[in-house]
Amino acid sequence: MAGVLVGVLAAAAALGVAELAAAVTGPQGAPVIAVGETAINLTPIPVKEFAIAHFGSHDKEALLTGIVVMLTGFAALIGIAAVRRIGYGLAGLAVFAGIGVAAALNLSGATAADVVPTLAGVAVAAGALIVLVRSVRDAFPAGGGAAVPLAGSPPAGGPEPHDVLPDGPYLDDLVRPSESDGAGDEAALESLGRRRLLIAGAGTAALAAAAGVSGDKLLGRFSVASSRAQVRLPAPAVRAPAVPAGTELRVPGLTPFFTPNPSFYRVDTDLVLPQISPENWMLTIDGMVARPLSFSFAELLAMPLTETDITLVCVSNSVGGTYAGNARWLGVPLAPLLRKAGVRSGADQVLSTSTDGMTISTPVATILERPDALIAVGMNGQPLPVAHGFPARMVVPGLYGYVSATKWVTKLTLTTFARQRAYWTQRGYAAQAPIKTESRIDVPRPLASVKAGQVAVAGVAWAPSRGIAAVEVSVDNGPWHEASLAAADGIDTWRQWTWAWDAPSGLHQLQVRATDSTGATQPSARAQPFPNGASGWDSVVVTVT
């Protein structure tokens, strides 16, 4: 038990000091974050999809919790080994240091400074481990191996120590018993040793807490919240048409037509949100262009801005899932920017790059034919939230986010699909992925209990770039009933729908399917999100009483 405590306390000191060092060098160098980011990049696609499906927007918290749990177990083993032989414990710390350094260097844009938090934390942990192990051996000479004699003195008989800790002004030297204490009084020495252990443990815990809290507070200096608060978005040169009356059905529990920013889904690979000051942000257009261009954020805001309503959908959205959201976006049309740079013949892909190193591929043809494909700076009347790409991101209607919606975008490279592959296509996802026609039942909820009689069945349906033409509902695999559609706000946003069900008592299954404006109806067969989006009919089971 003492070994476990030693290991955990040393690890806590390492993480606290590493957090403090990361406040100087940058948050991505913190060992847990660096290891977590590397784990995300190395995780197989099925595991990623499982995490997103089961943990939702809390998938990153689940990953961090898992890393901390594994780290605690590893630290306990290091402590147990160190009590037996200090060299084993130090070797375990060296392994930890190697993992942390490798993970930090593997990050996009990594520099030598990113390994400093790991090295600083391990150095402090090594010192803490030596002090704590020495205290444990003094406090429990029978259970923790032979008592290690005071610095510079030989063993006074009994079993040989497993190893000899280095000389130095350790805690026991500061509280050395006087001659009158009686060197032969083993009970007194053990009692004194336990007090030393208590002091050493408390001191290590205090160091870990103080360093961790200080580091967390200092990390706030990287936040761009104040810079975002100062951004004033210009009025759009092209305003979005007024939302028609009747787009919002008054059904309790139904998803609202516009998704509030705090509720908008978030799926990305970042454990720490990129913090980019508008003053330092630049957008570069290069590659197969006649004239490479760069724009500052101020220059972007000075351009004519377009406002448009677009529903975004994540490719990881399962049938009936919630990884879809509708917002009013404000930004600079992409097509004029590309034409200004001069797209060379043969270029069929825009490879966009985020400040975090993420790459996303978008067909050039789709961008050039859509005047509402944007470098967006605003979302629902506000500057982009940091979690959704502040200061600027891409938004292209009709395509899943992994091939269109680059957050924190800093570079657009004109190239070809044959020459370069983006992050997700390297991992087997389709290079081009139009959003499939989908529908979802919002009310009643799965496994809900409702009263017999008139029951409102309602939800949303979407087919961006095509629009929704019809929605139908079936009960217990019976005939399809046409639902009432809310008014349409163009073809790029979802539509709410509702159907009045005369519900009889019993257990029933409700199913929904949508038809888009091309006449294509959702297929019944289920397909998983990988490699180009889920398909199939959403269904819920309810009890009618």
- Could you report the per-residue pLDDT of 204-246, keeping only the tens digit for each? 999 989 988 988 888 777 789 999 999 999 999 999 999 999 9
Per-residue model confidence (pLDDT) at position 348: 97
Per-residue model confidence (pLDDT) at position 195: 81
Confidence label for 189 from pLDDT (cuts 50, 70 and 90): low
Per-residue model confidence (pLDDT) at position 197: 78
HSE value, Cβ hemisphere, 13 Å, CA-based, for 192: 17
Domains in the chain and their CATH numbers?
Answer: 2-222 (no CATH), 261-427 (3.90.420.10), 438-544 (2.60.40.650)
Residue 148 in this model has a pLDDT that exceeds 60:
no
**CA pair distance 531, 522, nearest whole angstrom:** 18
Least confident stretch, 45-59, 179-193, 213-227: 179-193
Per-residue model confidence (pLDDT) at position 497: 98
Q: At what angle do helices 116-139 and 31-42 cross, to 10 degrees?
A: 120
The secondary structure of 36-100 as a DSSP string is HHHHHHHS-HHHHHHHHHHHGGGHHHHHHHHHHHHHHHHHHHHHHHHHH-HHHHHHHHHHHHHHH
Q: Once rounded to an integer, what is the mean pLDDT over residues 370-384? A: 97
Instruction: Return the SS3 of 431.
Output: coil
Q: At what angle do helices 2-25 and 186-218 cross, to 10 degrees?
A: 30
Residue 169 in this model has a pLDDT that exceeds 60:
no
Confidence label for 181 from pLDDT (cuts 50, 70 and 90): very low
Q: What is the 3-state secondary structure (H, E, C) of 64-81?
A: HHHHHHHHHHHHHHHHHH
Least confident stretch, 22-31, 166-175, 389-398, 455-464: 166-175
**CA pair distance 148, 426, nearest whole angstrom:** 56
Confidence label for 41 from pLDDT (cuts 50, 70 and 90): confident
Q: What is the 3-state secondary structure (H, E, C) of 290-319?
A: CCCEEEEHHHHHHCCCEEEEEEEECCCCCC
Residue 179 in this model has a pLDDT that exceeds 60:
no
Per-residue model confidence (pLDDT) at position 366: 97
- Is 333 or 42 the better-scoring residue by pLDDT? 333
Per-residue model confidence (pLDDT) at position 217: 83
Confidence label for 149 from pLDDT (cuts 50, 70 and 90): very low
Least confident stretch, 41-55, 325-339, 340-354: 41-55
**How do residues 470-508 score in pLDDT, each as one tens digit?**
999 999 999 999 999 999 999 999 999 999 999 999 999
Q: Once rounded to an integer, what is the mean pLDDT over residues 300-317? A: 97
Confidence label for 56 from pLDDT (cuts 50, 70 and 90): low
Provide φ and ψ at 388, rounded to 5°: -120, 25
Per-residue model confidence (pLDDT) at position 441: 98
Q: Once rounded to an integer, what is the mean pLDDT over residues 368-376? A: 97
- Rounded to a whole number, what is the distance in angstroms from the first to the last CA of the chain? 56
Q: Once rounded to an integer, what is the mean pLDDT over residues 291-298? A: 97
Q: Once rounded to an integer, what is the mean pLDDT over residues 254-282? A: 94
Using a 10 angstrom Cβ sphere, with 0-12 exposed, 13-18 middle and 19 or more buried, the burial of residue 357 is middle
- Show the tokens assigned to 351: 């490879």
Q: Once rounded to an integer, what is the mean pLDDT over residues 454-465? A: 97
The answer to whether the beta carbons of residues 430 and 531 sit under 8 Å apart is yes
- Is 127 or 28 the better-scoring residue by pLDDT? 127
Q: Quick one: how far is CA 256 from the chain centroid?
A: 25
Per-residue model confidence (pLDDT) at position 138: 78
Per-residue model confidence (pLDDT) at position 135: 86
Per-residue model confidence (pLDDT) at position 68: 84
Instruction: Return the SS3 of 348.
Output: coil
Q: What is the pTM of this model?
A: 0.79
Q: Once rounded to an integer, what is the mean pLDDT over residues 82-95? A: 91
Per-residue model confidence (pLDDT) at position 156: 43
Q: Quick one: how far is CA 504 from the chain centroid?
A: 44
**CA pair distance 282, 264, nearest whole angstrom:** 26
